[in-house]
Amino acid sequence: MGSTLGRLFRVTTFGESHGVGLGAVVENIPAGLALGEEDIQIELDRRKPGQSRISTPRKEDDRVTILSGVFEGRTIGSPVAMVVYNENAREKDYSDFSDVYRPSHADYTYHVRYGHRTYRGGGRASARSTIGVVAAGAIARKLLRELAGVKIAAYVSSVHKIIAPDYLSLGADAIREKAESNDVRVPSAELAESMARSIQDARQSGDSLGGTISLLVENLPAGIGDPVFDRLDALLAQAMMAIPATKGIEIGSGFAGSEMTGFDHNDEFYMEDGKIRTRTNRSGGIQGGISNGEPITMRIAFKPTATISREQKSVNEKGEEVKLSVRGRHDPCVLPRAVPIVEAMAAIVLADQYLISQTARIDRIKDQP
Express each pLDDT in 287-320 by its tens digit. 999 999 999 999 999 999 988 889 899 999 899 9
Task: Specify the pLDDT at position 159.
Answer: 98
| HEC string for 176-205 | HHHHCCCCCCCCCHHHHHHHHHHHHHHHHC
**What is the reported pTM?**
0.92
β 312-315/10-15 pair status = unpaired
Q: Which of 101-110, 217-226, 258-267, 319-328 has the lowest mean pLDDT?
A: 319-328
Q: How confident is the model at residue 95 (pLDDT cuts 50, 70, 90)?
A: low
Q: Answer left, alpha or beta for residue 212, where phi above 0 means left and psi between -120 and 50 means alpha.
A: beta
Task: Specify the pLDDT at position 324.
Answer: 85
Structural domains of the chain, with CATH: 4-367 (3.60.150.10)
Task: Specify the pLDDT at position 325.
Answer: 80
Task: Specify the pLDDT at position 237.
Answer: 98
Residue 363: pLDDT above 60? no
User: Are 164 and 157 within 8 A, CB to CB?
Assistant: yes
Average pLDDT score over the chain: 91
Mean pLDDT (whole number) for 83-94: 75
Mean pLDDT (whole number) for 330-342: 94
Q: How confident is the model at residue 57 (pLDDT cuts 50, 70, 90)?
A: low
Mean pLDDT (whole number) for 243-266: 96
